[in-house]
Amino acid sequence: MPPLRRKYLNTIYQMDIGIGQIYDQLVKTGNWKNTIFIFASDNGATNEGGSNYPLRGIKGDLFDGGSKIPGFIASPVRVVKLRI
């Protein structure tokens, strides 16, 4: 595996651990029951270890790989109506 890819994957792994620690603290302090946790990427990977496969393009492009992003919302809170 190329060193740059290994570094990128380690960064993602460490981020995953950090998100888990935030969640654990929210549960431990009783704050999770009042929390809406939103996580989103910032528009695709670059050519520096990341990959948007099977999409084409990179961050900053108008192709799918530069505009579709992973993300999630997690919460025990039931949102009845959301106004934006």
Predicted pLDDT at 82: 61
pTM, 2 dp: 0.64
SS3 readout for the chain: CCHHHHHHHHHHHHHHHHHHHHHHHHHHCCCHHHCCEEEECCCCCCCCCCCCCCCCCCCCCCCHHHHCCCEEEECCCCCCCCCC
Query: How would you write the pLDDT of the chain (84 residues) with one tens digit per residue?
Result: 888 888 888 988 998 999 999 999 999 999 999 998 888 877 667 777 677 778 777 777 777 766 676 778 888 887 666 666
Predicted pLDDT at 30: 94
